[in-house]
């Protein structure tokens, strides 16, 4: 059930609706929009009787939701969500660029990349301190020491930190040192982790699972939001297909597909999406052209020496060329991408 308030509904009208939802043993999620507030209801097993709400002052409509998701939906919030990440914003028209190494390796490596990222005008820095590696013998990340280096990047370069957490303890640490919790492709359906992230107050960058459908991806975001954290950014990072010329197949049509259904921002990761240095720039351009709200790009001062994902890392120079090019494309397509879906 979705309660749509009238545009002139007062604070106490909204509080009254939320109170009734609580009395029914359910949870109300208030999402204020530009012209009206909507309140999503979760926790119900069957359908909720609309007569509880229909005649209350300030209520415009009580709508039964037939889709499997509620809070991610444009029915709840017709305007695009803009998510605050540290002192920057993702969504809502500007192109957000998140860049940095795959993994935090040492302070020198990280600061070199941070310098290039700050110089490009990007507002967000990435870097993993906890790395989900295929082999248990591969470099697993620096852990908390890596997060300390990242928080130094925030102080020195005024960049907002996006970094992955793989378990609950990792989320606690990322909350302490970072600005945005990344949940990786391998954990997209780790439901207890999603719920835990939903109980934090930090925004979450949710990457699409390696074989996740659109609905599975959106429902993973719904898990986070159902716990009360509405600050979710979706990320297409490529999926597994029979195609073997690239590490993954970047499924760019998911950008307009998400746009049609959801108010959440969606960004694109051409680094993991392709796995090859030479493919990152063209696919980044394509991602911006289809209307992504941003990009996440891996950069390393010396890709051939990277401890993780060196084959897809850009040099700082390649990265700055990419930023110049995608900004031009974004200026060209910008607002038009919203109008078409």
Distance CA 259, CA 247 (A): 26
The DSSP result for 50-97, as a single string, is: GGGTTTSTTEEEEE---SS-STTBTTT--SPP-EEETTEEESSSSPEE
Whether residue 225 contacts residue 72, with contact meaning beta carbons closer than 8 Å, is answered with yes
Does residue 134 sit in helix, strand or coil? coil
Considering the rule CB under 6 A, would residue 184 count as an interface residue with ligand PEP? yes
Under rule CB under 6 A, residue 205 binds ligand PEP: no
Residue whose token pair is 């509904």: 9
| 227/298 with CB nearer ligand PEP | 298
> What track of x and - describes contact with Mn ion for positions 261 through 300 (by CB under 5 A)?
----------------------------------------
Task: Report how many residues bind Mn ion under the rule CB under 5 A.
Answer: 2
Residue of 32, 68, 121, 132 that binds ligand PEP (CB under 6 A): 132
Contact status: 178 vs ligand PEP (CB under 6 A)? no
DSSP result, 18-49: HHHHHHTT-EEEEEE-SS-EEEEEE--SSPPP
Q: Which of ligand PEP, Mn ion, none is residue 41 near (CB under 5 to 8 Å by kind)?
A: none
Say which entry of Mn ion, ligand PEP, none residue 207 contacts (CB below 5 to 8 A, set by partner kind). ligand PEP
Q: Are 236 and 208 in contact (CB under 8 A)?
A: yes
Site for ligand PEP contains 28 (CB under 6 A): no
Is 300 a binder of ligand PEP (CB under 6 A)?
A: no
Q: Which stretch binds ligand PEP (CB under 6 A): 46-54, 168-176, 182-190, 224-232?
A: 182-190
Q: At its nearest, how many Å lie between Mn ion and the CB of residue 187?
A: 14
CA distance 231 to 221: 10
The site for ligand PEP (CB under 6 A) is made up of 102, 128, 132, 184-186, 207, 237, 272
């Amino acid at each position: 059930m979705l309660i749509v308030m009238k545009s002139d509904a007062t604070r106490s009208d909204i509080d009254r609706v939320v109170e009734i939802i609580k009395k029914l043993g359910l949870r109300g999620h208030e999402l204020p929009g530009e012209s009206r507030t909507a309140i999503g209801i979760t926790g119900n097993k069957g359908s909720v009787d609309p007569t509880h709400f229909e005649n209350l002052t300030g209520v415009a409509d009580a709508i039964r939701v037939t889709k499997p998701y509620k809070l991610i939906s444009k029915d709840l919030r017709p305007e695009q969500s803009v998510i605050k990440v540290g002192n920057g914003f993702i969504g809502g028209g500007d192109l957000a660029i998140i860049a940095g190494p795959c993994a935090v390796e040492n302070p020198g490596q990280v600061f070199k990349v941070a310098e290039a990222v700050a110089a490009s005008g990007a507002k967000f820095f990435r870097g993993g301190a906890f790395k989900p590696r295929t082999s248990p013998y591969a470099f697993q990340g620096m852990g908390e020491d890596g997060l300390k280096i990242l928080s130094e990047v925030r102080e020195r370069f005024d960049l907002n930190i996006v970094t992955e957490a793989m378990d609950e303890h990792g989320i606690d640490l990322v909350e302490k040192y970072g600005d945005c919790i990344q949940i990786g492709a391998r954990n997209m359906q780790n439901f207890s982790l999603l719920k835990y992230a939903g109980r934090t107050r930090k925004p979450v960058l949710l990457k699409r699972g390696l074989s996740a459908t659109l609905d599975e991806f959106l429902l993973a975001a719904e898990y986070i939001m159902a716990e009360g954290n509405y600050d979710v950014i979706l990320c297409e990072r490529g999926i597994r297909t029979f195609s073997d010329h690239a590490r993954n197949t970047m499924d760019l049509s998911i950008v307009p597909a998400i746009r049609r259904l959801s108010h959440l921002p969606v960004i694109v990761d051409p680094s993991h999406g392709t796995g090859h240095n030479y493919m990152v720039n063209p696919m980044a351009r394509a991602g911006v052209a289809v209307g992504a709200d941003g990009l996440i790009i891996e950069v390393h001062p010396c890709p051939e020496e990277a401890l993780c994902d060196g084959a897809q890392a850009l040099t700082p120079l390649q990265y700055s060329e990419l930023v110049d090019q995608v900004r031009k494309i974004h200026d060209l397509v910008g607002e038009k991408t919203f109008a078409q879906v």
